Amino acid sequence: MERTFIAIKPDGVQRGLISEIVNRFERKGYKLVAIKLIVPSKGFAEKHYHDLKERPFFNGLCDFLSSGPVLAMVWEGEGVIKYGRKLIGATDPQKSEPGTIRGDLGVVVGRNIIHGSDGPETAKDEIALWFEPKELV
Binding site, annotated residues for ATP: 9, 57, 85, 91, 102, 112
Residue nearest to ligand ATP (CB): 91
| HSE (side-chain half, CA atoms, 13 Å) at 48 | 25
Catalytic residue among 24, 115, 116, 127: 115
- State the Cα–Cα distance between residues 47 and 2, nearest whole angstrom: 23
Interaction pattern, residues 81-110, with ligand ATP; x per rule: CB under 6 A: ----------x-----------------xx
- State the Cα–Cα distance between residues 94 and 48, nearest whole angstrom: 24
Closest CA to 68 of 127, 128, 16, 120: 16
Q: Is 115 a catalytic residue?
A: yes
Interface residues toward ligand ATP, by CB under 6 A: 52, 57, 61, 91, 109-110, 112, 115-116, 118
